[in-house]
Amino acid sequence: MNIASKRWIAVIGIILLLALISLPLLKHDTKEKHIATIMLEKKTVKTIDLSTVTKPYRIRIDTPSGGYNILEVRPNEIEVIEADCPDQCCVHQGIISDGAEPIVCLPHKLVVKIDYTSHDDHTSKQTAPPDAVTK
Amino acid sequence: MSTRKLTIMSLLTAIALMIFIVEAQIPPLVPVPGVKMGLSNIVTLFSIFWLGRKEAFYILLCRILLGSIFAGHMLTLMYSLSGGLLSFTIISLFYRTFSLKALWIPSIISGIFHNIGQILCAIYVTGTTAIAAYLPLLIISGCITGFFTGLLAQYITNHTAILNHPLHHSK
């Protein structure tokens, strides 16, 4: 094995090590997070304060391309329970409560993430198209 | 471009396309967006080191374009293109430093950069940087799948080395 190959193995090792170290850090956050932000095609369509949710309910997000995602909102948790995207990745990602990993539905350009604060709470109501969210 | 070369390139494109379409039918193994086996990388890798960079680039581009027509939608094209082009650029830049006897090294590198390219594209499409949280997971999966596709490409090159290479100019 030549020197160049050994260098590459070292580079791969470092990248892999960094990835492995950062993995548990992203799973759970130490800070309190409870604002769920639902984004569709770069725009925030809805923000929900999950700590105020007492009874589970469902919301339906219709995408401009004609698809849909149905989300279930529970106390401190949120989950995509049904979607008509081809890969069903968003459904399989399950419940998110804290942690940095958002639910992503790439075919529908939908992202559900949990934030510390609802800094864009009031702006979301203006930018949201009136028929995009139906309860 | 000789007819022989053109035939070999089209054959490799057809093989890559076939692998790509069959792989698209397999449901996702892990519930993380972007994780896939990347089996068509075998053909790309093989063609870079067996035919050359220019030829491999054409094969890659044809496979991505045709693959998105047959097995996906417009978004598939964007993700495949961003991932494929980024990883191809990196491999081409450091082409000389890779050994033909250890193809799993460029394969892992291309697996990592393919996923980085896809994440960048996903950040652009959805407009959220929160997706970057998947980067560590995708890097690990890129290493694993890259290692195995690299081994497969290695076995193929080992066996085709016996054949009289029609085009190989360097070394």
Residue-wise pLDDT for A25-71, tens only, equals: 777 666 667 788 898 888 888 888 888 888 889 999 898 888 899 99
**CB within 8 Å: A102 and B112:** no
Q: How many Cβ atoms sit within 10 Å of the Cβ of residue A75?
A: 13
Indicate the average pLDDT of chain A. 80
Q: Return left, alpha or beta for A109; rule: phi > 0 is left, psi -120 to 50 is alpha, else beta.
A: left
Q: Do B131 and A104 touch (CB under 8 A)?
A: yes
- Report which residue type is found at B95: Y
Report which of residues A33 and A81 the model is more confident about. A81
CA distances for B144 relative to A58, B29, B77, B147, B148, angstroms: 38, 13, 24, 5, 7
**Residue B58 to residues A65, B40, B100, B112: CA-CA distances in angstroms?**
32, 14, 21, 22
Instruction: Determine the residue type at A29.
Output: D
Which of B36, B142, B25 lies closest to A19 in space, CA to CA? Answer: B142
Using pLDDT thresholds of 50, 70 and 90, give the confidence band for residue B162. Answer: low
Which residues contact residue A83 at a Cβ distance below 8 angstroms, ignoring those fewer than 6 apart?
A67, A68, A69, A70, A90, A91, A105, A108
Token digits of residue B168: 């190989």
Inform me whether the pLDDT recorded for B138 exceeds 50. Answer: yes
Q: Is the confidence at residue B164, as pLDDT, over 60?
A: no
Q: Which residues of A touch B136 (CB under 8 A)?
A: 18-20, 22-23, 26
* Interface residue A81 vs chain B (CB under 8 A): no
Closest CA to B137 of A18, A126, A54: A18
Rounded to a whole number of angstroms, the distance from the CA of B127 to the nearest CA of chain A is 5
Mean pLDDT across the stretch A5-19? 92
The closest of B83, B117, B98 to B50, measured between CA atoms, is B98
Q: Is the pLDDT of residue A125 over 50?
A: no
Region A107-124: mean pLDDT is 69
Query: For B69-96, what is the mean pLDDT?
Result: 88
Least CB–CB distance from B75: residue in A7, A15, A106: A106
Chain B: give the shortest CA distance to residue A118, in Å: 15
Full-model pTM: 0.83
Closest CA to A78 of A107, A110, A114, A104: A114
Q: Is the pLDDT of residue A21 over 60?
A: yes
β-strands A95-96, A103-105 pairing? unpaired
Radius of gyration of chain A (CA): 18
A107 CB neighbours in chain B (<8 A) are: 73, 75
> Cβ A12–B128 below 8 Å, yes or no?
no
Binary contact (B127, A22; C-beta < 8 A): no
More confidently predicted of B90 and A99: B90
Cβ contact A1:B102 at 8 Å: yes
HSE of B81, CA atoms in CB hemisphere, 13 A: 14
- How far is residue B5 CA from its own chain's centroid? 20
CA closest to A18 among chain B residues: B136
Determine whether the interchain pair A16/B139 forms a contact, defined as Cβ–Cβ distance below 8 Å.
yes
Q: Is the ipTM of this complex over 0.95?
A: no
Give the residue-averaged pLDDT of A94-118: 82
Contact A109, B125 (CB under 8 A): yes
Per-residue pLDDT at B160: 80
Read off φ and ψ for residue A30, nearest 5 degrees.
Answer: -80, -30
pLDDT at A121: 45
For residues A86 and A3, the answer to whether their CB atoms sit within 8 Å is no
- CA A114 – CA A125 distance, rounded (Å): 18
Would you state the pLDDT for residue A123? 44
DSSP label of A52? G
Q: Which residue has the higher pLDDT, A94 or B31?
A: A94
Substitution target from A6, A9, A12 for chain B, most B beta carbons within 10 A:
A12
**Tell me, what's the pLDDT at B121?**
92
Q: Is A104 on the interface with B (CB under 8 A)?
A: yes
Q: pLDDT band at residue B110, thresholds of 50, 70 and 90? A: very high
Q: How many helices (H) and strands (E) does chain A have?
A: 3, 9
In this prediction, residue A129 carries a pLDDT of 47
